[in-house]
Chain A
Amino acid sequence: MDLTQRAYCDRILRVNLSTGSIETTPLPANVMPLILGGKGLGAWLLCTEQPAGVDPLSAENRMIFHNGPLTGTTAPTAGRFGVTTKSPATGTYFDGYCGGYWGNMLKYAGYDALVLTGAAQNPVMLVIDGDWVEIRPAENLWGKTISTATKQIKDELGHDWQSLVIGPPGEAQRNLAGIFNESRALARGGVGAVMGSKNLKAIAVRGKGGVRVHDKRQYERALQLSFRAVRMSGPISMLRKEGTANILEVVNAMGALPTRNFQQGQFEKSDEISGTAFRQHNWEKDYACFGCPIGCSKWTTPLEDGKVIEGPEYESIYALGSNCAIGSRETIIRLNWLCDEYGLDTISVGGVIGFVMEMFERGIVGADTLDGISPSWGNAEAAIALVEKMARGEGCGEWLAQGVASIAKRYPAAKAFAMHVKGLEMPAYHPNAAKGTALAYAISERGACHLRGAPLGELFSGAADPLVIEGKPQLFRDHQADKAVWDSACLCAFPGYGMTLKELWQLVKAATGFDYPKVADLERIGERISTLARLFNVREGFSRAADTLPARNLIQPMTVGSAGGQVVDLEPMLDEYYRIMGWDANGVPTPERLKELGILDTPGAFKNGE
Chain B
Amino acid sequence: MKIGLQTRMDRLFNRHGDGRAICVAADHGYMSDVTPNVVNLRSTIEAVIAGGVDGILLAPGQALRLAPLFKGRDGPALIVRADWMNMPRLGTSNVTNAVPQRLLINEKVITAEQALSLGATAITVYLFLGYSDKVETIGIDKCAKFVNECRRAGLPCIIEPLAYGGQVTGANIVEILTLGARMAVEIGADALKIPYTGDVDSFRNLIEVSGVPTLVLGGARSDNERDALELYAEAHEAGASGCLMGRNVTKSPNPKAMIEQLNNIGHHGWTVDEALRGVAWDFMRLKAKPALCTGCNLCVGACVASHGNGDYGTNQARLRIESGSKPGQHKVMFCTICKKCIDVCPTKALRWHLESGAVELLPEHCDNCAKCVAICPTQVIIHSEMGLTFEDGRSLDWYPVVCDLCGSAPECARICPTGAIFIAERPDFSPVLE
Interface size on B, residues (CB 8 A): 59
| Contacting residues, chain A, for B166 (C-beta < 8 A) | 455, 457-458, 462-464, 471, 475
Which listed residue, B231, B294, B312, B323, touches A210 by the CB 8 Å rule? Answer: B312
Query: A315 to B8, alpha carbons, bound, how many Å?
Result: 53
- The smallest C-beta distance from B422 to any residue of chain A, in angstroms, reads 15
| Contacting residues, chain B, for A464 (C-beta < 8 A) | 166
Does B417 contact A231, Cβ atoms closer than 8 Å? yes
Query: A502 to B165, alpha carbons, bound, how many Å?
Result: 17
| Contacting residues, chain A, for B120 (C-beta < 8 A) | none
Which listed residue, A72, A465, A502, touches B103 by the CB 8 Å rule? Answer: A465
- B393 interface residue, CB < 8 Å from A? no
- A597 interface residue, CB < 8 Å from B? no
- B431 interface residue, CB < 8 Å from A? no
Query: A140 to B92, alpha carbons, bound, how many Å?
Result: 48
List residues of A (432-477) whose CB comes within 8 Å of B's CBs. Answer: 455, 457-458, 460-467, 471, 475
Identify which of A229, A455, A467 gathers the most chain B CB atoms within 10 Å of its CB: A229
Query: A225 to B234, alpha carbons, bound, how many Å?
Result: 11
Does A228 contact B170, Cβ atoms closer than 8 Å? no
| Residue interface bits B210-226, CB-to-A below 8 A is 1, else 0 | 00000000111111100
Query: A73 to B312, alpha carbons, bound, how many Å?
Result: 5
Query: A345 to B103, alpha carbons, bound, how many Å?
Result: 37
Measured CB to CB, the nearest residue on chain A to B197 is: A502
List residues of B (142-188) whose CB comes within 8 Å of A's CBs. Answer: 164-166, 169-171, 173-174
Query: A471 to B294, alpha carbons, bound, how many Å?
Result: 40
Does A288 contact B329, Cβ atoms closer than 8 Å? no
Query: A294 to B224, alpha carbons, bound, how many Å?
Result: 12
- A116 interface residue, CB < 8 Å from B? no
| Contacting residues, chain A, for B87 (C-beta < 8 A) | 462
Q: Which of B94-102, B107-115, B277-285, B394-402 touches A?
A: B94-102
Contact of A295 with B311 at beta-carbon distance under 8 Å, contacts A238-B92, A462-B101, A504-B170 already known: no
- B72 interface residue, CB < 8 Å from A? no
Does A478 contact B327, Cβ atoms closer than 8 Å? no
- A234 interface residue, CB < 8 Å from B? yes
Which listed residue, A72, A229, A290, touches B198 by the CB 8 Å rule? Answer: A229
Which listed residue, A255, A308, A455, A463, touches B100 by the CB 8 Å rule? Answer: A255
Query: A290 to B315, alpha carbons, bound, how many Å?
Result: 14
- A249 interface residue, CB < 8 Å from B? yes
Measured CB to CB, the nearest residue on chain A to B385 is: A208
- The smallest C-beta distance from A287 to any residue of chain B, in angstroms, reads 6
Does B92 contact A461, Cβ atoms closer than 8 Å? yes
**Size bin of chain A's contact surface:** 35 or more
Query: A294 to B298, alpha carbons, bound, how many Å?
Result: 11
| Residue interface bits B117-156, CB-to-A below 8 A is 1, else 0 | 0000000000000000000000000000000000000000
Q: Which of A37-45, A54-62, A211-219, A534-542 touches B?
A: A211-219
Query: A159 to B199, alpha carbons, bound, how many Å?
Result: 41
Contact of A291 with B301 at beta-carbon distance under 8 Å, contacts A104-B314, A234-B220, A461-B90 already known: yes
- The smallest C-beta distance from B408 to any residue of chain A, in angstroms, reads 18
Contact of A519 with B170 at beta-carbon distance under 8 Å, contacts A74-B312, A210-B304, A287-B294 already known: yes
- B46 interface residue, CB < 8 Å from A? no
- The smallest C-beta distance from B84 to any residue of chain A, in angstroms, reads 15
Which listed residue, B165, B169, B295, B313, touches A287 by the CB 8 Å rule? Answer: B295
Query: A532 to B98, alpha carbons, bound, how many Å?
Result: 39
User: Would you mind naming 24 contact pairs between A and B with Cβ atoms under 8 Å apart?
Assistant: A73-B301, A74-B305, A108-B313, A108-B314, A209-B315, A212-B309, A224-B230, A227-B415, A229-B198, A232-B248, A234-B219, A236-B220, A288-B294, A291-B296, A291-B301, A295-B294, A295-B296, A295-B417, A455-B166, A458-B166, A482-B169, A501-B170, A502-B171, A562-B100
Chain A residues at the B interface, C-beta cutoff of 8 Å: 72-74, 78, 101, 104, 108, 159, 208-213, 216, 224-225, 227-229, 231-238, 246-247, 249-250, 253-255, 284-295, 299, 308, 310, 455, 457-458, 460-467, 471, 475, 478, 482, 499-506, 518-520, 522-523, 562-563
- Beyond A108-B315, A228-B230, 16 additional contacts (C-beta under 8 Å) are A72-B313, A78-B301, A209-B315, A210-B309, A210-B315, A229-B198, A232-B219, A232-B231, A247-B92, A249-B96, A288-B294, A288-B296, A293-B417, A466-B100, A499-B170, A522-B171
Chain B residues at the A interface, C-beta cutoff of 8 Å: 87, 90-93, 95-96, 98-104, 164-166, 169-171, 173-174, 198-199, 218-224, 227-228, 230-231, 248, 294-298, 301-302, 304-305, 309-315, 323, 327-329, 415, 417-418
